[in-house]
Amino acid sequence: MAPHLLLSTPRKLANRLALLSALQLVLVGGSLSVLSFAIGRRSGLEISETYRQNASVVELSTRLSRKLSYPRWINTLNLAWLEQNPGRVSEYAAMAERFWNQMRAFPVDYINYGGADGRFIGMERGDDGELLLNEDTNRSGRGSMAVYAMKQGQRGELLERIPGMTETHEEAWYTDTAKAGKPLWSSIYAWEDQPEIFSISYNAPLFGANRNLLGVVGVDMVLSQLSTWLEQVWKGRDGLALIVEPDGTLVASSRPSQTLSRSKGQVERSRLAALSDPMAQALHQRLKGGANGKPERAQIDGHPYSLVATPWGTDEGLNWILLTSLTVEPGTAAADRDALIALLASAGALAGAAALTNRQIRSLLYPLRQLESTSEQLSQKLSQATSQLQPESLQFHSGVTEQSGEELVSLDGALRQLVDGYNRLTSELREREASLAEAREKERYRDAQTLALLKDKLRSSLQAAAVAHEINQPLSILLLNSQLLIKQTENVDLSALPSGWKQQVEGIRHEADRVVLTIEKMRALLRNVQTEHQRLNLREISQSALLYARSGGSTARVAIDSMALEREDAPAWIEGDAVQIQIAIVNLLRNAAEALIDAQTAKPWIGISIEAQGDQWCLDVADNGPGLPQSLLDQLPLQTSKASGSGLGLFVVQTTMENHSGQLDVATSPQGGALLRLRFPALPSSGD
């Protein structure tokens, strides 16, 4: 009975080995699968969180740029107004009314003019939104700042008189500009008449005919008002937004009470290092790490936040840093925790697998020792049988020998099956890992596609904004001047003016408003261009555009050579939108005609032709005009060589080619003028 039990043990060992091996593979494979999933999920959420953080910073930067653009526009308008008639610097009533109108139209805090002789006139927006006139002139009495109420653009009652004003301007807004001799942003300074108010101003010098300094015009942004604006921009976000200088001095805070502080009875600007707010202290540490625009994690009051320090204002002549903190989404924090747990679980699973391996080795050694013992017993039995005259039965010996041989063969086969099974399982594991890697790669590819689409939409939005900006600048001046002309007629005898003069000015303002509306519609169109493409013959489209161009305008005044276009009858099949392509061709012909007329070319010539190049149809518009400068050849549309041009025509052409998967090439024609080539993907000629 004992030998039977001894020899039956190896059969049970094979079952145990299979069970232990399966458990080991489940531990390793399961832990790696969980770890891979946790890491993949964490990576996806990290990308989403980074995009959310960057989107907030980009929005803040864009809105800040827009807010600080108003002082530039206002100074440009006021400087042009004074340069037309330098004597207006003494027309205090007209200047006050102009500043009053601008303060109502633009979101700024202060507009002023300071003369080289110490005269000063400025329009202030109070905390309650009321507009106040500050004046230190011969009209109000020099040496003190007189504060007046404003009624319908005219100076009202005297509200306050602040004595002790200096005879010359000593504040940064004047001294910095006078020293530089060019428009610039001043350093942040406290007002002489109200030292508890700090502001930064954009100023421009006004020079006389002999380049002598007549005065300085400026527009202020008050820090307390800038903080109120930042509070509204950052509203709804769990975090803090700061604008600071490189040394940590605050310019503005989304928590306005932090911007200024009081020390020894005086109001002064706060320093980031001195704020007790834990979030402000965390941003101070982030500032020490450098303004590189990269988000960093920090625990603030037990909650995870993402901190970003971004340089801002280099193009504006300012050296500011945007500091932002936003709470991390709960899903992202949970993903970090899950990834750590998965990593620890994987390490535990590997340790368990190592323990199972050790047990497997021990399990293998045990039956081998048993087989060795059985072999020794068998050898003893054989020795005893050969020494006896009448040997006893060797059934046990036979049985042991037989069983020992079968167990060894069975063990060998079991080991081989175990190895084969392990190899199959590990192969399946590698296949699963490859599948997971492929899935992660596909996910990254989809994320990249999504980011590319967002960048493309952002580019289109920026281009639309650039177009609107180019057109809105002259329109702003046109609207402002027309409004001033209309207002001036209210106190003028209309009989002394030409007949219908006021109605014509009203018409100018009305038509300018219509152009503004058209710009807004065009901006919306450029953001979401939707076209219906169909199979088209480019020759027919070109001939239709040519017929329209010859019907009137500048193109009717220049002969257009279309022989190369008309002598070929073979269709040039493309896929596209006929209206958009016709508009693009007419724009090119009109630009060429205007360039020839402006240059007064002796024998003006414009040529249009179509030819096939590989798998593309190329439409060329060439002229013998002055051509394009090399600097313009290397630039994108929205550039122009004409003195009064905006580049809008080439921008429309460029947008059309992008919508048709084509390309716009700009070069020099053989005649020495400009050559503009439209490349369209060609369609097969079958089905003509």
Same domain for 468 and 429?
A: no
Q: Which of 458, 478, 509 is the last residue of a domain?
A: 458
Residues of the chain predicted below pLDDT 70: 1-20, 24, 31, 34-35, 37-38, 40-46, 48-49, 331-340, 342, 356, 359-423, 425-426, 446-470, 472-473, 476, 489-502, 509-511, 513-514, 516-531, 630-648, 686-688
Same domain for 131 and 202?
A: yes
Same domain for 481 and 545?
A: no
Same domain for 412 and 541?
A: no
Same domain for 201 and 324?
A: no
What pLDDT score was predicted for residue 474?
72
**Residue 688 domain-assigned (yes or no):** no
Q: Which of 328, 353, 382 is the last residue of a domain?
A: 328
**Residue 362 domain-assigned (yes or no):** yes
**Residue 499 domain-assigned (yes or no):** yes
What pLDDT score was predicted for residue 126?
84
DSSP state of 513: H
146 closest CA partner among 129, 163, 130: 163
Q: Which of 402, 434, 458 is the last residue of a domain?
A: 458
What pLDDT score was predicted for residue 609?
94
> Please, are residues 324 and 241 in contact by the beta-carbon 8 Å criterion?
yes
Same domain for 443 and 483?
A: no
**Residue 598 domain-assigned (yes or no):** yes
What pLDDT score was predicted for residue 465?
58
Same domain for 254 and 201?
A: no
Q: pTM of the prediction? A: 0.46
> Please, are residues 177 and 186 in contact by the beta-carbon 8 Å criterion?
yes
Residue 588: give its domain's CATH number.
3.30.565.10
| Domain ranges, residue 497 | 461-527
**Residue 78 domain-assigned (yes or no):** no
Same domain for 93 and 221?
A: yes
Same domain for 286 and 150?
A: no
Residue 240: give its domain's CATH number.
3.30.450.20
What pLDDT score was predicted for residue 394?
46
What pLDDT score was predicted for residue 419?
52
CA distance 114 to 97: 16
How many domains does the structure of the chain reveal?
Answer: 5
**Residue 605 domain-assigned (yes or no):** yes
**Residue 126 domain-assigned (yes or no):** yes
What per-residue string of b and e applies to 301-326 under the rule 16 or more CB within 10 Å gives b?
eeeebbbbbbebbeebebebbbbbbb
Same domain for 492 and 546?
A: no
Same domain for 454 and 338?
A: yes
What pLDDT score was predicted for residue 640?
55
Query: Can you say how many angstroms the Cα of residue 314 is from the centroid of all Cα atoms in its chain?
Result: 17
**Residue 75 domain-assigned (yes or no):** no
Same domain for 288 and 203?
A: no
